[in-house]
Amino acid sequence: MLNKLYSMELPFAESYRIKMVEAIRKSTREEREKWIREAKYNLFNLRSDQVFIDLLTDSGTGAMSDHQWSEMMLGDESYAGATSYFKLKNAIEEITGFPFFLPTHQGRAAENVLFSVLVKEGNVVPGNSHFDTTKGHIEFRKATAVDCTIDEAFDTTLAHPFKGNVDPVKLEKVLEKSGDQIPFIIITLTCNSSGGQPVSMENLKMVRQFADRYKKMIIYDSARFAENAYFIKKREQGYQDKSIREICLEMFSYADAMTMSSKKDAIVNIGGFIGMRDADLFRQASVFNIMFEGYVTYGGMAGRDMNAVAQGLYEGTEFDYLETRISQVEYLGHRLMDFGIPVQRPIGGHAVFVDAKRFLPKVPKEEYVAQTLAVQLYIESGVRGVEIGTLLADRCPISRENRYPNLEMLRLAIPRRVYTNNHMDVVAVALKNVFDRRDEINHGFRIVREAPIMRHFTVELDVI
Ligand SMILES: Cc1ncc(COP(=O)(O)O)c(C=O)c1O
Q: Is 192 in the pocket of ligand 1 (CB under 6 A)?
A: yes
Q: Which SS3 state, helix, strand or coil, does residue 54 take?
A: strand
Task: Express the helix, strand and coil content of the chain in percent, nearest 5 each.
Answer: 45, 15, 40
Ligand 1 and 131: CB distance under 6 A: yes
Distance between CA atoms of 329 and 198, rounded to whole angstroms?
14
Pocket flag, ligand 1, residue 190 (CB < 6 Å)? no
Q: What is the pLDDT of residue 4?
A: 61
Nearest CA to ligand 1 atom 4: 107
Which residues have CB under 8 Å from 386's CB, separation 6+?
A: 43, 55, 56, 57, 374, 410, 411, 413
Closest ligand 1 atom to Cα of 190:
1
In the reported structure, the alpha carbon of residue 231 is separated from the centroid of ligand 1 by a whole-number distance in angstroms of 20
* pTM over 0.85, yes/no: yes
List C-alpha distances in Å: 247 to 251, 330, 399.
6, 22, 43
Q: Which amino acid is at 20?
A: M
Phi, psi of 56 (to 5 degrees): -60, -45
Contact 205, 230 (CB under 8 A): no
Determine phi and psi for 395, rounding to 5 degrees.
Answer: -95, 155
The CA distance from 359 to 59, in Å, is: 26
Bond before 346 cis per omega within 30 degrees:
yes
Q: Provide the 3-class DSSP secondary structure of residue 265.
A: coil
The gap from C-alpha 120 to its chain's centroid, in whole angstroms, comes to: 25
Q: Are 348 and 354 spatial neighbours (Cβ–Cβ below 8 Å)?
A: no
Bridge partners of residue 144, in order along the sequence:
124
Check residue 1 and give its pLDDT.
53
Q: Ligand 1 mean position to 454 CA, how many Å?
A: 13
pLDDT at 324: 96
Cβ–Cβ < 8 Å for 221, 134: yes
Between helix 421-436 and helix 319-338 the angle, nearest 10°, is 20
- Residue in 185, 118, 183 with CA at minimum distance from that of residue 149: 185
Report long-range pairs for 176-180 (Cβ below 8 Å, ≥24 apart): 178/124, 178/146, 179/214
pLDDT tens for the 464 residues of the chain, in order: 555 667 888 888 999 999 999 999 999 999 999 999 999 999 999 999 999 999 999 999 999 999 999 999 999 999 999 999 999 999 999 999 999 999 999 999 999 999 999 999 999 999 999 998 999 999 999 999 999 999 999 999 999 999 999 999 999 999 999 989 999 999 999 998 888 999 999 999 999 999 999 999 999 999 999 999 999 999 999 999 999 999 999 999 999 999 999 999 999 999 999 999 999 999 999 999 999 999 999 999 999 999 999 999 999 999 999 999 999 999 999 999 999 999 999 999 999 999 999 999 999 999 999 999 999 999 999 999 999 999 998 898 889 999 999 889 999 999 999 999 999 999 999 999 999 999 999 999 999 999 998 899 999 999 99
| E strand or H helix at 412 | strand 409-413
**Ligand 1 mutation target, pool 56, 61, 105, 108, most atoms within 8 A of CB:** 108
* Distance of CA 112 from the midpoint of ligand 1 (Å): 12
| Closest residue CA from atom 6 of ligand 1 | 107
What are the pLDDT digits (tens) for 55-82?
999 999 999 999 999 999 999 999 999 9
Kindly give the residue spans of alpha helices, DSSP state H, lying in 293-446. 303-316, 319-338, 356-359, 369-381, 390-393, 421-436
Query: Which pLDDT value is given to residue 396?
Result: 87
- Compute, in angstroms, the gap from residue 221 CA to the centroid of ligand 1: 8
- Nearest CA owner, ligand 1 atom 14: 59
Ligand 1 pocket: which of 59, 191, 259, 350 to mutate (most atoms within 8 A of CB): 59
* Residues marked as catalytic: 79, 131-132, 221, 223, 264, 456
Contact 385, 38 (CB under 8 A): no
The DSSP secondary structure of 309-340, one letter per residue, reads HHHHHHHHT-HHHHHHHHHHHHHHHHHHHHTT
Which of 109, 64, 104 is closest to 88 using CA atoms? Answer: 104
Is ligand 1 within 6 A of the CB of residue 59?
yes
- 112, 199, 264: residue to mutate for ligand 1 pocket, most atoms within 8 A of CB: 264
Q: Which residues make beta-bridge pairs with 402? A: 395
- Given the CA of residue 271, which atom of ligand 1 is nearest to it? 10
Ligand 1 touching residue 230 (CB < 6 A): no
The side-by-side arrangement of strands in the sheet containing 386-388 is 351-355, 409-413, 386-388
In this prediction, residue 7 carries a pLDDT of 83
Q: Is 149 left (phi over 0), alpha (psi -120 to 50) or beta?
A: beta
CA–centroid distance for 420 within its chain: 21
- Checking 58-61 for CB contacts under 8 A at 24+ apart, the result is 58/264, 58/350, 58/351, 58/413, 58/414, 58/415, 58/416, 59/223, 59/261, 59/263, 59/264, 59/413, 60/106, 60/263, 60/268, 60/269, 60/270, 61/263, 61/269, 61/415, 61/416, 61/418
Please name the helix (run of DSSP H) or strand (run of DSSP E) that holds residue 107, with its range, or none: helix 107-118
For the CA of 188, the closest atom of ligand 1 is 1
